[in-house]
Amino acid sequence: MNSKMLNARIKHISLAGVLAIGLMSATLANATTVQFQTVMGDFEVNLFDKTTPKTVENFLKYVEEGAFENTIMHRSVPGFIVQGGGFEYPGNLPLKAVTSHPAVVNEPVYSNRRGTIAMAKVGNNPNSATNQWFFNLADNSGNLDRQNGGFTVFGQVSGNGMAIIDAMAALSRFNKGGAFNELPLRNYTTKDHEDEVKVTDEHFVMIQNVVVLDESPDTADGLNPVKNTSRDDDDDNDSGGGGGGGSLGFLTILLLGFLAVARKMVVRGRQVS
């Protein structure tokens, strides 16, 4: 095989590699920036779809279905967390439970530090997360990183988002029974509670919707979330640093494979010639 034919073949292989990587990137490009649209202001969250892929895929499935539209923040614990994703206000009471999909596997790669979003789950069942999530108001790593197999952090609040979440956490809380014994409410007083004033969308912390803003999987790459090092089996769940690296690493290996084939063809061509 002459040099011109070899060069043409190598270019063809290289182009095929680039196209393959491009196609795979498009396939793996889950949205990593979402916007929470709430009655107290909108804020953005970067999702770690490269290092917590199953959790992000699960969360985005609910987003794509509009499952978080007109839901509420149903639990607030000052200095700890605010929680939502589980209950919808359909325009009147009672609240409606959001339909849940099968539970997602636990991916406790990152630490539960202030400003992160993590999945809620059933006690003593690490792989029980479905649709409920919470925002960490403080450094909860000493508790949540190890408890129940570690709580999966799958994103980080950006910009001034925590100011909005802190405002939610500062609201008065009321015991309305059942799952709503730490319910944050707006424009609602203790007297209202004692008089059993009906709670409406004027009082709930409403999540009007969660929408995708950026479909690039690289929007979280500039973040540097803290790794969860508290778990005994941490190595089994470690997928790489930064905002992710699992899919990028695979694509890198694929590209190296194409280049290796190309180099081998050059060597064989020289041997023939």
CATH of residue 124's domain is 2.40.100.10
- pLDDT tens, residue order, the chain (273 aa): 555 544 555 444 444 443 443 333 333 334 689 999 999 999 999 999 999 999 999 999 999 999 999 999 999 999 999 999 999 999 999 999 999 999 999 999 999 999 999 999 999 999 999 999 999 999 999 999 999 999 999 999 999 999 999 999 999 999 999 999 999 999 999 999 999 999 999 999 999 999 999 988 778 888 889 999 886 444 333 333 333 333 333 333 333 443 343 333 322 332 222
Phi-psi region of 57 (alpha: psi -120 to 50; beta: other; left: phi over 0): alpha
Same domain? For 89 and 220 the reply is: yes
Mark whether 9 and 126 lie in a shared domain. no
Q: What are phi and psi of 44, to 5 degrees?
A: -110, 155
Q: Residue ranges of the alpha helices (H) in 75-177?
A: 141-144, 161-169
Instruction: Find out whether 179 and 74 touch, Cβ atoms under 8 Å.
Output: yes
Q: 130 and 216 share a domain?
A: yes
Render the burial of 170-204: b for 16+ CB within 10 Å, e for the rest: ebebbebeeebebbbbbebeeebeeeeeebeeebb
Q: Are residues 145 and 200 in the same domain?
A: yes
Least Cα distance to 205 among 117, 80, 83, 62 occurs for: 83
26 and 104 fall within a common domain: no
Owning domain of residue 183? 31-241
Q: Over the Cα atoms of the chain, what is R_g?
A: 24
* 26 and 36 co-located in one domain: no
Query: What is the pTM for the complete model shown?
Result: 0.75
Q: How many residues does the chain have?
A: 273
Question: Whose CA is closest to 200, among 97, 75, 99, 90?
Answer: 90
Same domain for 108 and 26: no
Residues 84 and 20 in one domain: no
Whether residues 235 and 265 fall in one domain: no
Q: How many domains does the chain have?
A: 2
Burial code of 93-113, b = ≥16 C-beta within 10 A, e = fewer?
A: eebeebeeeebbebbbbbbbb
Considering the domain architecture, whether residues 259 and 211 belong to the same structural domain is answered as no
Cβ–Cβ under 8 Å, residues 140 and 80:
yes
The verdict on 70 and 131 lying in the same domain is yes
CA distance 228 to 48: 14
Do 48 and 127 lie in one domain? The reply is yes
